[in-house]
Amino acid sequence: MSKTYNFYAGPAILPQDVMKKAQNELLDFNHMGLSIMEISHRSKEFTEVIETAETKLRDLLNIPEDYSVLFLQGGASTQFAMIPMNLLQGGTADYINTGAWAKKAIKEAKLFGNVHIAASSEDREFSYIPDRFQFSTDAAYVHLTSNETIGGIQFQTFPDTGDVPLVVDMSSDILSRRLDITRFGLIYAGAQKNMGPAGVTLVIIHRDLIEASADNLTSMLSYRLHAEKKSLYNTPPCFAIYIVKLVLEWIEGLGGLAAVEAFNNEKAAMLYDTIDHSRLYRGTAAEADRSKMNVTFRLSSEDLEAKFIAEAKQAGFVGLKGHRSVGGCRASIYNAMPLEGVKALVEFMRAFEKDNA
């Protein structure tokens, strides 16, 4: 097999060790002579998988007892609606508008109550994270997107919302750095960037929000029900949860989130440094707000960008095309991207610059 470096934004690279373990166990999980995919979600074996996944998450993120950990379906996009359905109930919520994903969350929330935009970076094409917020006095919650996967901007610190619960979409940077969970009312994330394959969505929610949530909702969209049933109200995405468990064990083996954070900082610095010292590449995000996960950059023309992406692909670097809505280039360097992959990309970028500057 030739070497391919995967820079896709999501679904994205998974750790090789995790893939190998899954491969080894695929036909015979736990000496059962069966795959984890083929057994009941109520079995002793799967119960252990989902419980271990929850315990590992609680350990890694230091999640206090008064938060529930839920493994849901429908992607982060279902959370855009489920949050206001459960928590807004016709009231007002504050949203920080930092890009395409925040906008989608806003669109859904408007169906269930009043949305007040507390800050926006739309004036400069979502190239920065606002640092001034106009919060309403009566907001049910404040919503933000910690990392905009398309724009390549990331909250480095989170605003102080006082007693108002902070609700955060961490789809593209969950488990990439340390977090103080007690600062948040609800965190949600699709698994398919830093946690596992597509199909499972993590929700970490404070008990107070579950208690205050609407009680007239259809079962599958009720946090209360999923919390009561420990994510086993219906058949969960068993295989995806099993892979998440393996990824969490892999993170543990690396030394936890402090080690992962340091490693991610190193990889991002290497790439941004290359961009900053070049005359060909130009970063699109404000320096202070640059994402450590999705590095977005442009070349001097769209033709040259197309050439860069095509030659990169030939050299084994895939997934470098920017999102279709913004164009340009994007290198997604999630937890599982090895340092060696970033080093190789940087070398390729320098060589391309020499030939094309």
Phi, psi of 317 (to 5 degrees): -105, 105
Angle of the 238-254 helix axis to the 44-61 helix axis, nearest 10: 40
Q: Is the peptide bond preceding residue 11 cis, with omega within 30 degrees of 0?
A: yes
Report in angstroms the alpha-carbon separations of 301 from 49, 277, 280: 49, 19, 10
Distance CA 184, CA 201 (A): 17
C-beta of 98 vs 274, nearer to ligand PMP: 98
Report in angstroms the alpha-carbon separations of 15 from 18, 181, 253, 345: 5, 25, 12, 18
C-beta of 74 vs 338, nearer to ligand PMP: 74
Give the one residue of 5, 29, 46, 101 binding ligand PMP; rule: CB under 6 A.
101
Q: What is the DSSP letter of 77?
A: H
Give the one residue of 18, 76, 118, 140 binding ligand PMP; rule: CB under 6 A.
76
Interaction between residue 10 and ligand PMP (CB under 6 A): yes
C-beta of 69 vs 76, nearer to ligand PMP: 76
Tell which positions 167-186 bind ligand PMP, by CB under 6 A: 169, 171-172
C-beta of 268 vs 299, nearer to ligand PMP: 268
Task: Return the closest-CA partner of residue 114 out of 89, 83, 144.
Answer: 89
Chain-centroid distance, C-alpha 102 = 13
Stretch that binds ligand PMP, among 70-78, 155-163, 215-223, 339-347 (CB under 6 A): 70-78
Measured from each CB, the residue nearest to ligand PMP is 75
Task: Return the closest-CA partner of residue 263 out of 188, 184, 202, 194.
Answer: 194
Interaction between residue 319 and ligand PMP (CB under 6 A): no
Interaction between residue 296 and ligand PMP (CB under 6 A): no
Which residues are known catalytic residues?
101, 169, 193
Give the one residue of 152, 165, 185, 190 binding ligand PMP; rule: CB under 6 A.
190
Give the one residue of 43, 47, 52, 77 binding ligand PMP; rule: CB under 6 A.
77
CA dihedral of 183, 184, 189, 193, whole degrees rounded to 10: -10
Q: Tell the smallest beta-carbon distance from residue 58 to ligand PMP (Å).
A: 23
Distance CA 351, CA 275 (A): 13
Interaction between residue 352 and ligand PMP (CB under 6 A): no
Stretch that binds ligand PMP, among 71-79, 205-213, 254-262, 307-315 (CB under 6 A): 71-79
Stretch that binds ligand PMP, among 45-53, 166-174, 214-222, 312-320 (CB under 6 A): 166-174
C-beta of 68 vs 172, nearer to ligand PMP: 172
Distance CA 182, CA 93 (A): 20
Give the one residue of 68, 149, 154, 194 binding ligand PMP; rule: CB under 6 A.
149
C-beta of 223 vs 348, nearer to ligand PMP: 223
Phi, psi of 202 (to 5 degrees): -90, 135
Evaluate whether 115 touches 109 at the Cβ level (below 8 Å): yes
Interaction between residue 136 and ligand PMP (CB under 6 A): no
Q: Which residues bind ligand PMP (CB under 6 A)?
A: 10, 75-77, 101, 145, 149, 169, 171-172, 190
